[in-house]
Homo-oligomer: A and B are copies of this chain.
């Protein structure tokens, strides 16, 4: 787990927000705070926090709507912290994608414990081993280095990120939209030709072309898949 978790608190009431930021900070978290849904959404995309604490009663957009918007683009852990204590509210909040739901008033100690519980479960997430091996391709995450048949590949940062993303999902088809949002960190953009260009360069460095693929198989209409070459 990360030494210090980066939290984002989205809460409009200063009487709650300010002391809560202080309390969470004292408990060893790095805390950012926003007071509207739109600013919270923006901060979420910019900062990529480890966890979001979300109030439902926001001035501009209802928190449930914001939650659904966030869930459309990210799987960041989200804890709902709100005054709405109705049973159906809790169910709706959790089903909309919330990881936990605490009702005001709550103590900082309990919120902190719930934060730690959620982070513990979400943390390792998609088990990211140090080095991913696909066929004769090795991708070393920590060293940010990839080798093919034992010889190092000279990759640019984006190329490595792209290769790492694909290697972590080896055997599965990945859409270019997913690549764009996850690797390029853009919420939604039409210009996915950039991905094509980088794929092309990656292919060249892998010693293959789109028409004679070894590792990067394009699945027309869907995306690309990284899988070991057919030995025949």
Residues of A within 8 A of B (CB): 77, 87-88, 90-91, 94-95, 98-101, 107, 109-110, 112-114, 116-118, 121-122, 126-127, 142-145, 152, 156-157, 171-173, 219-222, 225, 227, 230
Contacts and interface: CB of A to CB of B under 8 A. Distances in A.
Contacts of A225: 143-145
B157 A143 contact: no
B110 A95 contact: no
A91 B118 contact: no
Number of copies: 2
DSSP class of A's interface residues: helix, strand, loop or mixed? mixed
A99 to B, nearest CB: 6
Contacts of A114: 94, 101
B117 A94 contact: yes
Given A77-B121, A118-B121, A121-B118, A113 B142 contact: no
A141 to B, nearest CB: 9
Contact of A113 (B95, B109, B156): B95
A55 to B, nearest CB: 18
Nearest to A112: B91
A114 to B, nearest CB: 6
A127 B172 CA distance: 11
A157 B221 contact: yes
A172 B142 contact: yes
B99 A121 contact: yes
A118 B121 CA distance: 9
